[in-house]
């Protein structure tokens, strides 16, 4: 409260200076009662100061504000702007427009303070129509060239996805400040146009921390994880100090890339800058470590978190599940419940997944029933998928099929795919055929399911069925998505794609020679190429060549070239590990005494001494 306002209040009544020290609801009511008793509530200036306290950041009493407003006989522009501002960020932002209409009926002309908050309210409502109507009022009252109003319009249109409209206003602005530019960058990011966002970001005459945060987060939200990390390092070079929000985006990007070294550097930055590790940042760190294959570090970080919510617990439970630590995952779930935290639907997905990976059928079914009975959570497709996978892993194919048939909702592709995978392991052609037909109907463009079903037919000797599948794939123009693998060496992400040639990686010649050396050694202990997962419309010689150029094998060879013999090699794949790559990696871990941690689409595989943590079921 300014000195001018305080002096004016003191002249009206000495006790009115108490408004300056009001900090609680009880204080507010005492002062309000005093104003009513002394009839000072009829003074619009005094009443407006009391009303302003209702919208203070430390005392937000919107409901009470409406009662005070009803006692003001002739509210002025300041009063209406207070109410419009306060309700524009309330749970019911539409009420801001009620006050605006009442203001116009009172023949009070709006100003450049009124419209930014009305625009904000329309943005909160996600209603472009109301935003456009407000825009017409802006033109009508002559505020279309006011920079604050223009910035609000740019932000509203950009936030609603109308980036062309936002761009038109931005292009017509006589003066653009950092808010104008940042709103456009944010809008492009929200629309998935990250290249346009970056172009505008680079053109900005001045940037603040919020702008950097928007661009880095925009990259992360649009799956451009490497670029998010690169921009963070550029930000550091320019001397800008990151905050917790930026670090959440950076650490999450490292998690998706499986870039442990970069993630550890980001964690060190957080510690060095004495940042507050709140729930969001702490959960991001836990998530990063287990996604990068360091489940022990993930547990350590989780245990050290000053505060934890249900999402923090869900993250560590999920991490333990995908790393194959089923009993530990259940232990953490039980601990979470004992502490009084309410498990969410995603928490149950995580713990049911742990039961599935660990083959704990009885415990999984018990948790599934508890979820419905004790917590009132209706099963979602993810929960049904966990149960089907769990039954399938233990060979209970009939029970899994019956469970699918009795589901109250139509099964999706992952649910049917889980059962089809179990049919391959247990060589059940009968169930596989029924499920495979359902699966192809649900997801006709997914090549992996055709290949899986064809392999089941091949084992059963049903060659005519394979021919039929081949024809179906040609008819539907089904193509296999390109497989790729990532490996981090010295803080740099290297990407290998299926069938990479010498042009894609500067050291591809050396990588191929290294692979040939590895191949010779593992053949000495009995390795023979498994071509069952290769496409079934090529001959055996082509299959043999194809499997040896799988991206994971190239990444392994490169990792062994560039790392010390004692170093654990970590690889991230976009697809499920194929049978041959899985066998090869087990052999390499045995022959070379190396440890490999491979994250595929479904889970983590820890290869050590010729064995895998998945126990050959994935």
Identify whether 577 is part of a domain.
yes
| 391 and 494, same domain (yes or no) | no
Q: Residue 489: which H helix or E strand, with range?
A: strand 484-489
Return the pLDDT at 601. Answer: 87
| 601 and 492, same domain (yes or no) | yes
Nearest alpha-carbon partner for 421 in 393, 379, 383: 393
Q: Rounded to an integer, what distance in angstroms lies between the CA atom of residue 273 and that of residue 263?
A: 16
pLDDT in tens, 559-590: 999 999 999 999 999 988 888 899 999 999 99
| 409 and 508, same domain (yes or no) | no
pLDDT in tens, 502-512: 457 889 999 99
**The pLDDT of residue 383 is above 80:** yes
Q: Residue 302: which H helix or E strand, with range?
A: helix 295-304
- Residues of the chain above pLDDT 70, percent: 94
Residue ending a domain, among 451, 480, 509, is 480
Helical packing angle, 551-562 and 579-592, nearest 10°: 20
Return the pLDDT at 330. Answer: 98
For 459-465, the CB contacts below 8 A with 24+ separation are: 459/424, 459/427, 459/429, 460/427, 460/429, 462/429, 465/433
539 pLDDT tier (thresholds 50, 70, 90): very low
Q: What is the mean pLDDT of the chain?
A: 89
Rounded alpha-carbon distances, angstroms, from residue 183 to 158, 316, 522: 7, 36, 57
SS3 labels along 364-423:
HHHHHHHHHHCCCCCCCHHHHHHHHHHHHHCCCHHHHHHHHHHCCCCCCHHHHHHHHHHH
Residue ending a domain, among 433, 465, 480, is 480
Nearest alpha-carbon partner for 111 in 72, 74, 85: 85
Residue ending a domain, among 480, 496, 526, is 480
Q: Rounded to an integer, what distance in angstroms lies between the CA atom of residue 487 and that of residue 492?
A: 8
Query: By three-state DSSP, how is residue 278 classified?
Result: coil
The alpha carbon torsion through 489, 492, 495, 496 (nearest 10 deg) reads -30
482 pLDDT tier (thresholds 50, 70, 90): confident
Q: Locate all alpha helices (DSSP H) within 411-507, ordered by sequence.
A: 413-425, 429-442, 447-460, 463-476
Identify whether 530 is part of a domain.
yes
Rounded alpha-carbon distances, angstroms, from residue 168 to 50, 109, 162, 337, 617: 41, 27, 10, 53, 56
Return the pLDDT at 541. Answer: 40
| 470 and 547, same domain (yes or no) | no
Return the pLDDT at 535. Answer: 47
Residue whose entry in the numeric block shows the structure tokens 């505008």: 200
Question: What average pLDDT score do residues 530-541 get?
Answer: 50
36 pLDDT tier (thresholds 50, 70, 90): confident
Query: By three-state DSSP, how is residue 590 classified?
Result: helix
Identify whether 73 is part of a domain.
no
**The pLDDT of residue 426 is above 50:** yes
Q: Which two tokens stand for residue 378?
A: 């209706």
The alpha carbon torsion through 73, 74, 77, 79 (nearest 10 deg) reads -10
| 395 and 512, same domain (yes or no) | no
Return the pLDDT at 29. Answer: 84
Query: By three-state DSSP, how is residue 542 classified?
Result: helix
pLDDT in tens, 444-457: 888 878 878 888 88
Q: Report strand pairing: 596-599 vs 569-573.
A: parallel
Count the neighbouring beta carbons within 10 Å of the beta carbon of residue 103: 21
Domain ranges, residue 526: 485-612
Q: Domain with 419 in it: what CATH number?
A: 1.25.40
| 455 and 499, same domain (yes or no) | no
């Amino acid at each position: 409260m300014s000195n001018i306002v305080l002096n004016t209040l003191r002249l009206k009544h000495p006790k009115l200076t108490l408004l300056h020290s009001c900090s609680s609801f009880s204080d507010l009511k005492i002062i309000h009662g005093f104003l009513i008793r002394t009839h000072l509530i009829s003074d619009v200036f005094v009443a407006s100061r009391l009303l302003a306290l209702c919208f203070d950041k430390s005392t937000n009493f919107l409901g009470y504000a409406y009662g005070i407003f009803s006692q003001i006989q002739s509210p002025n522009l300041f009063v209406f702007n207070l109410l419009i501002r306060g309700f524009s960020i309330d749970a019911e932002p539409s009420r801001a427009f009620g006050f605006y209409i009442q203001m116009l009926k009172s023949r009070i002309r709006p100003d450049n303070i009124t419209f930014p908050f009305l625009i904000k309210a329309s943005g909160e409502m996600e209603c472009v129509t109301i935003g456009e109507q407000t825009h017409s009022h802006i033109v009508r009252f002559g505020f279309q060239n006011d920079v604050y109003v223009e910035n609000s319009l740019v932000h509203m249109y950009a936030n609603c996805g109308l980036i062309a409209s936002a761009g038109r206003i931005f292009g017509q602005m006589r003066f653009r400040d950092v808010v104008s530019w940042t709103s456009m960058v944010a809008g492009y990011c929200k629309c998935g146009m990250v290249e346009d966002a970056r172009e505008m970001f680079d053109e900005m005459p001045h940037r603040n921390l919020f702008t950097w945060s928007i661009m880095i987060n925009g990259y992360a939200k649009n799956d451009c994880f490497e670029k998010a990390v690169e921009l963070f390092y550029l930000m550091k070079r320019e001397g800008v100090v990151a905050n917790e929000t930026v670090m959440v985006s950076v650490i999450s990007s490292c998690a998706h890339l499986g870039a442990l070294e970069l993630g550890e550097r980001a964690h060190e930055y957080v510690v060095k800058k004495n940042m507050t590790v709140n729930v969001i940042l702490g959960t991001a760190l836990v998530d990063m470590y287990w996604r990068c294959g360091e489940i022990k570090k993930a547990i350590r970080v989780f245990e050290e978190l000053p505060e934890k919510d249900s999402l923090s617990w869900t993250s560590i439970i999920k991490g333990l599940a995908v790393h194959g630590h089923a009993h530990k995952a259940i232990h953490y779930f039980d601990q979470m419940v004992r502490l009084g935290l309410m498990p969410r639907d995603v928490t149950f997905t995580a713990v049911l997944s742990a039961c599935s990976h660990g083959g704990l059928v009885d415990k999984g079914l018990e948790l599934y029933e508890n979820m419905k009975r004790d917590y009132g959570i209706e099963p979602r497709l993810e929960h049904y998928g966990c149960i089907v996978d769990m039954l399938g892993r233990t060979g209970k194919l009939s029970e899994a099929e019956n469970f699918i048939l009795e589901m109250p909702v139509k099964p999706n592709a992952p649910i049917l795919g889980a059962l089809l995978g179990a049919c391959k392991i247990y060589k059940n052609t009968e169930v596989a055929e029924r499920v495979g037909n359902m699966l192809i109907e649900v997801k006709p463009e997914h090549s992996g399911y055709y290949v899986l079903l064809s392999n089941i037919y091949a084992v059963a000797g049903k060659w005519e069925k394979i021919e039929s599948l081949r024809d179906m794939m040609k008819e539907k123009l089904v193509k296999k998505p390109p497989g790729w693998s990532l490996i981090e060496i010295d803080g740099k992400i290297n990407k290998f794609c299926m069938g990479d040639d010498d042009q894609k990686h500067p050291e591809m010649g050396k990588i191929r020679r290294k692979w040939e050396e590895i191949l010779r050694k593992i053949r000495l202990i009995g390795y023979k190429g498994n071509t069952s997962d290769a496409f079934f419309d090529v001959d055996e010689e082509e299959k043999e060549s194809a499997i040896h150029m799988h991206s994971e094998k190239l990444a392994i060879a490169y990792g062994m070239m560039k790392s010390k013999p004692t170093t654990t090699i970590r690889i991230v794949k976009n697809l499920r590990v194929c049978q041959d790559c899985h066998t090869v990696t087990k052999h390499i871990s045995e022959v070379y005494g190396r440890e490999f941690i491979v994250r595929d689409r479904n889970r983590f595989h820890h290869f050590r001494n010729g064995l895998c943590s998945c126990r050959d079921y994935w």
